[in-house]
Structure 1
């Protein structure tokens, strides 16, 4: 299976913004303008970041920025080649983290979470970062203890006899929908905990308070009408969101195995199955 096969498709949109961890001025050198933006950017980077081995430049991802791939690293520069941006690019229209998705395409063996920040920098020889700014890419998944979460706030579905996985999700998250579909095919028991990462708490309340929560959950992902829901005690959803904030779960989906191992972001069904298989429970 190739890296392309194991990584999700991603969206290109003009309605994206960059959330920068660092921005650096990288000089003012004039270049001819009769070439493609990608070619011109590569030439500028050779001059300004000579120790960085650039694999690919794509200036069509988002207006005003060129995405630069350097090995397993990812960063951005403006089309003038003056500013270097290290951080995440979010598509506000499709509500997707384009950087996390691209990092999975570059290195499908790397989890999206803590590794994304590490992979977002060019080679340290050129980058305006210290070693403290570039944590090592984790070789094993991080772990979370779910012991502090109440029983309330969860929607349990799937195979009661299958391995149990806990999913922190948002019903407007496209990759959460894709993960949900993958988990159906994997025949596991799912404990789904909405955390409304995309400011969709009203929808979470509606699903959680539905007479048939499981049906409402799948209808929400399918963007089907949910009908009216009675009010109910949603303190369990509050607990989910407090837990996510306390443990640094800033995006969705987040999949937690029975042994507490964490996989952040969407992976293919095959890679998800391999991750789940690593748990004894």
Structure 2
């Protein structure tokens, strides 16, 4: 297989700004005062107050939605795939579990799953490497590192996932970062004439011919960072639930069947 510089492009653009204060660094704090309290008599006023407060600490990140949560006085704020809760006066931000003590539901995780689901739906098939099932019943998105042992184990069973009716969409998340050997392998796989064959060869430890082209590897990584991924493989189910680590094909099919009921 000969690899060459080609014109593959990505249509996904991460909102993460390089060299700027990151959303993830803000969310690392469990509770933060966002600004002076400003009250408003309407939902629109509350939303404007919250947007103004967030703009002071996250100027590069515009909320995609601000809406009342099920908790009185607490608003759900979505910024791409990330979810947070902010008080109506725009002063306090809560990042973490919000538990309904009657139902025992973590409403924060439910909201986060919905945000992941919307985000994954917005990533087009041309921006991933797709191993499609012949008779698809489910689809998952997997953040992968070519040199990760359990990522390789997962890919060695790719036929098993497909036989279970699971299509696998790969996004790259080389944990060693841009410019590393793992990152360069990901770029070479993306830029190969046959991406699927190159992915399989790389996962088998074979040397893939070095290649370079316009590619979405950095954007994949930035998206993974916004999703809070810390290790690979990281599997995002159709429901938006995040499953860390390797899951064998039949067990993953059971999880997907249960989540779809």
Relative contact order (alpha carbons < 8 A, sep ≥ 6): 1 or 2 greater? 2
- Of Structure 1 and Structure 2, the greater helix share is in 2
TM-score (norm 2): 0.49
TM-score (norm 1): 0.46
